[in-house]
């Protein structure tokens, strides 16, 4: 029997709710435990479990890999929040705001180490391949974060869509793809199938990011649960902003530049007006569909019974037809 | 043939001098490469090679482990320097001073990931054990760093020598011990022998730290190459300061407290006067000898031909009879 995302999510949460770190030193492990207990959708570890089930019955090893992945993901959140000076994470004070930057830095480090200890639990047969995929992915996530910071510091006109897309893929997609692949390895998937599964995850991640950017600008604030235009407010380089520049004429570019450089109380409204004039809402929907289609095609190419793919197909809907 | 520390150091340096990280993204990998190129004595990776040679001919795998260890060590330096706000490392500007804190943080992260990629090169037979020892050690080093920060924030009277010793062991000794042990695993050492080797490294590390603290206070500034009393100047909790408190009478404790709390231009001179009155120079020499003796005893217990131990015995002299 193939489990649904929700069922696997519950199974994972059960294992993950046990305390992972020792009690002492409290100033090291409490910050680590704190972020783990802030919750989250646990998409990445569940993808790992689903990657396993795509090929075979769920292995106990897949939970070890899944826990490693969720630890790694939370490590990146802790360090990213330090770099971004973010005050909130999932509506709660970030780790560095709660425990100080030094403890947050070190707690992140120990979470990364712990993720390898979790992977190390898997059967010897799979260990080397899992560490290879996991570490390559981890390196790429670091590259993505650095490129994100690089692009944040660049003037908008120097950020090209293809480079931006590559950054997003590294920063967000490769971990989804790597999670699926690690599960697929444990499920005994063949090289070719694993490649298709990886591509599925990569396209899915990009579609998800496009949707995220779309919702921040065009989403219903009621359903979305936060103020619309948050990205615009902080000059975040999103798919929309990069595309806006690409599509703009001389006059619009001047306007965008002025909005980015000056404190305009109506910045969000004015930028949204440009976005609407450029029909970026339609563009984003189409672009998202493009990547969803690519994801679906990749999944189709995985040579297993179509019944095994059902839950991953449903997942596309769960992740990509949301309005909140 | 068993190689000397110097010979292994040269062999290691040769392998390590090849660029480890890709060129791009430059802002991620240049900071990582920068600290690697600042040099250093490479004690830990060479200990790994020596641990291998204690039991068997040098394996190519030992170089992979050694590189991982040196990468890990440098990762800790980069992150520690951020936490300590240190301006200099080996006489050069620290990574975060040169490239900014965000890039230093992220470069440290990617160095830690890369260290696992290096370990992953070893033969399947050894992989799980090496990752276990390496990760346990890494976790302990994080614990040691956190305890160091905890103790730095505590009033001196609350830092007990036994707890302080434990912190030092975690912060500095376990990596020396773990490096030897990883090499020993690759050399095929038995469990019992590996335990003795680990103990050797742990005692050696503590003796080394005692010497470091001793030299900072009592060393010849000419030979030592830096200003004497640097630790005193910044109120660093050293073996000497913790011991000073333990041995002090009421009046001396008041004096120490006053020196720690107020800016006294003659702080170093006055504290050194207390240290001398308490005969801390003699105490430190004896304490160092105590741990050197324990290290030697542990090494003696390793059941291999005594000719194989010669270079590790010599290393004690190299590391612990220095005056600079």
How far apart are the C-alpha atoms of B306 and B300, rounded to whole Å? 8
Whether B1 is covered by a domain: the verdict is yes
Whether B24 is covered by a domain: the verdict is yes
CB contact under 8 A, A27 and B150: yes
The answer to whether A54 touches A184, Cβ cutoff 8 Å, is yes
Tokens representing B42 are 């490479």
CB contact under 8 A, A105 and B82: yes
Same domain, B128 and B243: no
Whether B167 is covered by a domain: the verdict is yes
- CATH code of the domain in which B23 resides: 1.10.600.10
B112 closest CB neighbour out of A83, A109, A131: A109
- H-run or E-run covering B6: helix B5-16
Same domain, B168 and B209: no
Q: Which of B138, B165, B189 is the last residue of a domain?
A: B189
Tokens representing A313 are 């197909």
Chain A contact for B131, CB < 8 A? Answer: yes
Whether B244 is covered by a domain: the verdict is yes
Chain A contact for B135, CB < 8 A? Answer: yes
Chain A contact for B120, CB < 8 A? Answer: yes
ipTM of the complex: 0.96
pLDDT of residue A222: 72
| Mean pLDDT to the nearest integer, A135-146 | 98
Same domain, B15 and B153: yes
pLDDT of residue B225: 59
Residue written as token pair 């001047």? A254
Same domain, B147 and B255: no
Which residues have C-beta within 8 Å of that of residue B4, sequence separation ≥ 6?
A: B311, B314
Whether B197 is covered by a domain: the verdict is no
B25 closest CB neighbour out of A108, A127, A147: A147
CA distance B146 to chain A (A): 6
Residue-wise DSSP of A74-93: HHHHHHHHHHHT-SEETTEE
- When divided into structural domains, chain B yields a total of 2
Same domain, B168 and B129: yes
CB contact under 8 A, B117 and A106: no
Whether B320 is covered by a domain: the verdict is no
Helix residue spans in chain A (DSSP H): 5-16, 26-36, 43-55, 60-84, 95-99, 101-119, 124-153, 161-168, 174-186, 191-218, 221-224, 230-233, 239-247, 250-261, 267-277, 280-301, 306-320
CB contact under 8 A, B112 and A110: no
The model's pTM: 0.96
Whether B12 is covered by a domain: the verdict is yes
Task: Report the half-sphere exposure of A9 (CA within 13 A, side-chain side).
Answer: 12
Whether B318 is covered by a domain: the verdict is no
CB contact under 8 A, A142 and B105: no
B172-221 tens-digit pLDDT:
999 999 999 999 999 999 999 999 999 999 999 999 999 999 999 998 87
B99-154 tens-digit pLDDT:
999 999 999 999 999 999 999 999 999 999 999 999 999 999 999 999 999 999 99
The answer to whether A138 touches A182, Cβ cutoff 8 Å, is no
Per the structure, the complete domain to which residue B43 belongs is given by 1-189
The answer to whether A99 touches B153, Cβ cutoff 8 Å, is no
Same domain, B21 and B144: yes
Three-state secondary-structure class, residue A250:
helix
A146 closest CB neighbour out of B28, B79, B143: B28
Tokens representing B158 are 């609350």
Contacts of B132 in chain A (CB under 8 A): 117, 120
List A residues 141-180 in contact with B (Cβ-Cβ < 8 A). Answer: 142-143, 145-147, 149-150
Q: How confident is the model at residue B263 (pLDDT cuts 50, 70, 90)?
A: confident
Same domain, B162 and B293: no
Same domain, B108 and B246: no
How far apart are the C-alpha atoms of A305 and A37, rounded to whole Å? 37
Contacts of A117 in chain B (CB under 8 A): 131-132, 135-136, 139
Q: Which of B131, B163, B189 is the last residue of a domain?
A: B189
């Amino acid at each position: 029997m193939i489990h649904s995302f929700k069922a696997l999510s519950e199974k994972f949460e059960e294992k993950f709710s046990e305390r992972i770190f020792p009690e002492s030193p409290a100033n090291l492990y409490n910050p680590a435990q704190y972020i783990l207990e802030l919750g989250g959708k646990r998409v990445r570890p569940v993808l790992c479990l689903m990657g396993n089930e795509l090929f075979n019955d769920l292995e106990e090893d897949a939970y070890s890999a899944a826990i490693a992945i969720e630890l790694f993901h939370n490590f990146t959140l802790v360090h990213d929040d330090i770099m971004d000076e973010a005050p909130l994470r999932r509506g709660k004070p970030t780790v560095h705001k709660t425990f100080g930057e030094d403890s947050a830095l070190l707690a992140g480090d120990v979470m990364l180490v712990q993720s390898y200890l979790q992977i190390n639990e898997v059967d010897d047969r799979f260990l080397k391949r899992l560490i290879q995929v996991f570490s390559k992915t981890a390196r790429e996530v670091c590259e993505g974060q650095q490129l994100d910071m690089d692009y944040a510091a660049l003037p908008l006109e120097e950020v090209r869509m293809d480079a931006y897309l590559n950054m997003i893929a590294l920063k967000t997609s490769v971990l989804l793809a790597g999670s699926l692949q690690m599960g697929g390895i444990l499920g005994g998937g063949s090289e070719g199938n694993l490649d298709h599964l990886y591509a599925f995850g990569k396209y899915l991640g990009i579609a998800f990011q496009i949707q995220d950017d779309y919702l921040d600008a065009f989403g219903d604030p009621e359903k979305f649960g936060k103020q619309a235009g948050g990205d615009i407010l902080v000059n975040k380089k999103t798919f929309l902003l990069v595309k806006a520049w690409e599509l703009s004429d001389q006059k619009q570019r001047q306007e965008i530049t002025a909005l980015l450089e000056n404190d305009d109380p109506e910045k969000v409204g004015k930028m949204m007006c440009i976005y609407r004039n450029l029909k970026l809402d339609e563009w984003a929907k189409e672009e998202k569909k493009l990547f969803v289609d690519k994801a679906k095609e990749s999944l189709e190419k995985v040579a297993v019974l179509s019944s095994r793919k059902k839950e991953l197909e449903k997942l596309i809907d769960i992740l990509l037809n949301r309005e909140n």
